[in-house]
Structure 1
Amino acid sequence: MDTPEFPNRFANKVDMDADASKRTGDYPLLRPTDAATLIVIDRSGDEPAVLMGKRHVAHAFMPDLYVFPGGRRDPHDGRVPVANHLEETVTAKLMQKMASPASPVRAQALATAAIRETYEEVGLLIAAEGRTINRGVWKDFADRGLAPMQSKLRYIARAITPPRQKRRFDTRFFACFRDEIGYARPEASNELVDLRWVRFSEMEEVSMPRITLAVIEDLRQAMLRDADLPFGGPVPFYQSRYGRRSREIL
């Protein structure tokens, strides 16, 4: 359903309007690339905090801003053996308004992409006992007798980069709790530096994309409704429609 007003106080500040393209040039109309990101939540303190890292200043996309670990879906992500799959309600949500070809395999591949990128960028293994392929980034999982663990991932938001941008992504935001995972401490990488746990009350003090700020606020509100962040909950979907920003609930 469409929401004519923005209950999220940051949502109406998201650069989703057509004028956003003028700041980066009039690029060809690109089809968005599937991407996924993972929000790891630490709920051990008085206030929840999320793991973020700063993108290197030399990066072409969102340089010098704090973001969650994530990146584009790899063609092989859908063929990686996993320890367990997403909850059925999460898979169903991911398939809503998914561009063709829509399938459960593609939905699960997005979760695998989020897990892979999180390990590559911050060194966290979202994993459980199991068998997976013994090559590439997955060799580090296989050597430990582990495989990607999808079952703890909640789907909490989606955002499509506005048209006429140099790069466009159809990004699905997943979330899980730090105490639900294990295996290694977060470490900086060539992609993300200065890793930090950002509390909800600190998010306006950290330099981050406006869409990221809006998603954190969505997450904060969701946890106020239910601190355990149930699977299959409402998913805010940000995109640009007819030159105007849109926030829809899936």
Structure 2
Amino acid sequence: MSRTAFPDPSIAVSPATRLTPKDAATLIVIDRSSGRLRVLFGRRGERHVFMPNLYVFPGGRRDRGDHTLPYIRDLHPQVLERLASGSSDPAALRRGRALALAAIRELHEETGLFIGRQSEGAAAADLANLRYVARAITPPGNIRRFDTRFFLTFTDEAGIDPGDVRDSDELHDLTWLDIEATSGLNMPLITRTILEDVIDRMKADPSLPFGSPGPFYYSRRGRKFRGDI
């Protein structure tokens, strides 16, 4: 089975195109309440320039203001350290935390689910149960390029009801699918690859410890690499 992590040729442009990857965050949400693991997917609209009509995890680009979003609990120290690449520099830590906040914001905007506390006119995210499971940079030559961090959480830990999902302008046909039965789903190769990585790791330890390493997919000078985060 292929372990490369690059988008389909249908979304590629001229190899001469060189775009700087934009920070992005994705959140893999797993429901384990029924005894079978189910993962949340949604279909991107046909008008999207990047990956139209493909099923993906909720997520999107990090916004400039994400670092100022309120939160009630911070990331696990090992998660924050890895997001900052081991740096204790405050700017690196803020950037790492902003990526996690972006993942929760995008989840809410695209699915209606929110991880944290909501009250009238105010909301604060809860970052404490987010794992950092993968990173992938879109190769040069694509119409959009993102440096995406993949987070993961479980519905019971996050305090969210799987039945509360709703379609949005960004994601349609939101559905919870058996994690082992997604082979027929039309999804980007990177999505399928990282899902396979998660499945393999959960077979070794279903709790997915916060300090566990994960894959980092990137390319240099036309060559594809798989490193560690």
> Contact 2:216/2:227 (CA < 8 Å) preserved in 1?
yes
CA distance in structure 1 between the aligned counterparts of 2:101 and 2:119, rounded to whole angstroms: 15
Equivalent position of 1:135 in the other structure: none
SS in 1 for 2:27: strand
Written as runs of structure 1 = structure 2, the 5 A alignment for 1:101-250 is 103-128=92-117, 141-143=118-120, 146-183=123-160, 185-250=164-229
Equivalent position of 1:94 in the other structure: 83
CA distance in structure 2 between the aligned counterparts of 1:49 and 1:213, rounded to whole angstroms: 15
- Greater shift, 101-110 or 27-36, is seen at 101-110
Stretches of structure 2 lacking an aligned partner (at least 5 in a row) = none
Superimposed CA distance per residue, residues 43-84 of structure 1 (whole angstroms, 9 cap, x where no aligned partner): 123431110000011111110000011001111110112111
> Contact 1:10/1:217 (CA < 8 Å) preserved in 2?
no
SS in 2 for 1:121: helix
Superimposed CA distance per residue, residues 191-222 of structure 1 (whole angstroms, 9 cap, x where no aligned partner): 10001112222121100000000000011011
CA distance in structure 2 between the aligned counterparts of 1:45 and 1:39, rounded to whole angstroms: 18
CA distance in structure 2 between the aligned counterparts of 1:22 and 1:54, rounded to whole angstroms: 16
* TM-score, with length taken from structure 1: 0.83
* % identity of equivalent residues: 46
CA distance in structure 2 between the aligned counterparts of 1:21 and 1:199, rounded to whole angstroms: 27
Q: Decide whether aligned partners of structure 1 residues 50 and 21 sit closer, same or farther in structure 2, where only a CA change above 3 A counts.
A: closer
Letter in 2 for 1:11: R
Stretches of structure 1 lacking an aligned partner (at least 5 in a row) = 1-8, 129-140
Q: Decide whether aligned partners of structure 1 residues 30 and 120 sit closer, same or farther in structure 2, where only a CA change above 3 A counts.
A: same
Say if 2:56 is the partner of 1:67. Answer: yes
> How much does 1:25 deviate?
2.1
- Greater shift, 106-115 or 141-150, is seen at 141-150
Q: Decide whether aligned partners of structure 1 residues 97 and 159 sit closer, same or farther in structure 2, where only a CA change above 3 A counts.
A: farther
Query: Which residue of 30, 37, 56 corresponds with 1:48?
Result: 37
> How much does 1:22 deviate?
9.5
SS in 2 for 1:45: coil
Which structure is higher in strand share?
Answer: 2
> How much does 1:42 deviate?
0.8
Superimposed CA distance per residue, residues 99-141 of structure 1 (whole angstroms, 9 cap, x where no aligned partner): x99610000000000000000000001104xxxxxxxxxxxx3
Equivalent position of 2:6 in the other structure: 15
CA distance in structure 2 between the aligned counterparts of 1:225 and 1:50, rounded to whole angstroms: 18
Letter in 1 for 2:30: I
Runs of 4 or more consecutive aligned structure 1 residues displaced over 6 Å after TM superposition: none
CA distance in structure 2 between the aligned counterparts of 1:96 and 1:59, rounded to whole angstroms: 32
SS in 2 for 1:245: strand
Q: Decide whether aligned partners of structure 1 residues 21 and 183 sit closer, same or farther in structure 2, where only a CA change above 3 A counts.
A: closer
Say if 2:41 is the partner of 1:25. Answer: no
Cα RMSD, aligned residues only: 2.4
> How much does 1:143 deviate?
1.7
